Amino acid sequence: MSSRGSYLGTNLWRLWPALPGLWWLLGLGLLLGLQAARCAPFYLPGLAPVNFCEADRETPTCKSSVALFVNRLDSVESVLPYEHNTFDFCQDSGKKSPSENLGQVLFGGQITSSPYKFSFNKTETCIKVCVKSYDTANEDQKKKLDFLKKGIQLNYQHHWIIDNMPVIWCRDIEGREKYCTPGFPIGCFVTKSGIARDACVINLEFNKSNTFYLFNHVDITITYHRENETNWSIARLVSARLDPKSYKHSDENHLTCHGPPMEIPGEYTDKLNVTYTYSVKFEENKNNKSGSRWNYVLESMPETNIQWFSIINSFVIILFLSGMVAMITLKTVHKDITRYNQMRFPEDAQKEFGWKLVHGDVFRPPRSRMLLSAFLGQGIQVLIMTFITLLLVCLGFLSPANRGALMTCAVVLWVLLGTSAGYVSAKMYKTFRGVQWKTNFLLTALLCPCVIFANLFIMNLILWVEGSSAAISFGALIGIFAMWLGISVPLTFLGAYIGSMGKFKHPVHINQVPRQIPQQTFFRKPLFGMIIGGVLPFGCTFIQLFFILNSIWSHQMYIMFGFLFLVFIILLITCSEATVLLCYFHLCAEDYHWWWRAFFTSSFMAVYLFMYTVYYFITKLQIADVASTILYFGSSMIMVLIFFLFTGTVGFFSCFFFITKIYSVVKVD
């Protein structure tokens, strides 16, 4: 017995790798430095900047024409985006669109040219773009006017682009602070009771009840920087801002861009002419170079201090959990080893207690082993995809200037990582003593993807019916389906075939007869453990989730991926340590059914995430129509499923390797 205790004492150091969070903490300082360098926007060198110069100095490498592109229109009161030409705005006669990548197709971010075209460094004032006429006696024109008024009432926002930069609108709010958004409204509405809604509060002239005010004029300010010290004629654009105005142009041949606002009465029954105009000016900025041309977008993001507060709060949780796990492995287990060293008689070894009593049952295969294996395979696939995508963003390979690149990268990685899903699923299924590895492969390859694809198909049908620009074309759906069936599924089979050849070896034998589990108190039952285990990861991430939801549903630009990557690592550590801690407590209560419990403990965070999306829907959005509600919760369920898979997988494997390590060091069999 003493020799056995000596073996345990000399190999205590082998327990250290079982502390998953502590190893992650060693690289956390490096991640902080990476975040500090990347939290500001940047311009990817791979996207060649455009040189501009005056019209009389134009060359093949330096152009004078500055084109303005328009993106889809969206609203916080409806999740249905629409293309620019869906509304009756001015259209470009030679309409052309830049080529779209997979991410833009999936998000419906169609970018098209506009009739707004400027000459570099040429100031223009009150230039007519087009005139739109509406006669309520004409049914087609009446529908266009009604749709325009509906867009104003729902506060739909323009999104314009100049030289691949978003055109932002800044306005002063209370406390002398400036609030900027990468879009500006079509107009605003004053209700029948005289309440000014949305942008109507910025102008005291918008005061007539039951009246729509259309923003038919924009003052555009474009800032540039002279890049070449030897050739001052070459410049690059570094920012674009605008200020929407409303003017009722009485004479379209003599435009002054002054006077009363452009009003559209709520009960309009006459003819109406709307003249769209613009003014543009160029300003030189000698400090802001093109390499940091996205810095001006930060003016709309004053929440950096909140991000740091969230991360510090998460660090406190990590330190607490790391201390608890370290106390268990380096103190509690050490105490057991010391007791073994002090044993003098063989019969003393029979007086085991706690987690050592279940050593013959701790690796007994769980129920529904095939389903658990499939979840683990899909979880690994999502986890690796998310990690690589966020790492590439932080390293600068996925610039915000390259729209749709983030989603394209994520989809391509998910398809190519089918091998990892099949391998992990088959290997765990073999470890669980499963024999139907082909059925397990089919479940891994089809279960979760089919659920997501069915969800997307239903939402796409709604978008088709509503005529939204976010609807994916039938050809694109077939292409995505072909990528999954032709690439991901075969790779999953390859991984499953390799994984089925081996299994994880258990350090202890499994008893023939299962041990009876003592009666458990409420605090030791699985539900209580899952509730506690899900709170900690959610507490580390809910502030970041707020900004992510804002970027998706409130249409705010999200570019602080350094913070996001750091919070992602914190989430992995928290899930890992919380699951290890709670699984150890359950094993001490002689409950050896830990397989599913380890998965659900950390994945219960997805339940809190769903509750948070409901709270966000009620408190932050003003969605009223049924179609938008279905689309919101359908998209939220996809996000919840993704979090369920990868958080549960992180917790499961942390607990699996921790338990394997302590039972291999403390040989109680």
* Token pair for 180: 């900027």
Q: What is the pLDDT, as a whole number, of residue 666?
A: 57
Q: What is the pLDDT, as a whole number, of residue 192?
A: 85
Q: What is the pLDDT, as a whole number, of residue 95?
A: 67
CA–CA–CA angle 467, 471, 473 (5° rounding): 110
* Under-50 pLDDT residues of the chain: 1-46, 349-350, 668-669
Which helix or strand (DSSP H or E) is residue 213 part of? strand 211-214
Strand pairing partners for 171?
Answer: 179
- What is the distance between the alpha carbons of residues 486 and 607, in angstroms, rounded to a whole number? 33
Residue 340 has φ and ψ, to the nearest 5°, of -65, -40
Tally of CB atoms within 10 A around 267 = 6
Domain ranges in the chain are 2-7+17-32+304-345+353-513+559-665, 64-300
Q: What is the pLDDT, as a whole number, of residue 26?
A: 38
* Token pair for 416: 């190519």
Residues 6+ apart with CB under 8 A from 603: 534, 643, 644, 645, 647, 648, 651
CB 374 within 8 A of CB 447: yes
Q: What is the pLDDT, as a whole number, of residue 24?
A: 45
Q: What is the pLDDT, as a whole number, of residue 13?
A: 39
Residues 6+ apart with CB under 8 A from 282: 120, 121, 122, 123, 221, 222, 223, 224
Helical H segments across 13-60, by residue range: 20-26, 28-38
Q: What is the pLDDT, as a whole number, of residue 290?
A: 64
Model's pTM, two decimal places?
0.79
Beta strands in 40-195 (DSSP E): 65-70, 73-75, 78-82, 112-119, 124-135, 157-158, 160-162, 165-166, 168-173, 177-181, 184-185, 187-190
Which helix or strand (DSSP H or E) is residue 463 part of? helix 437-466
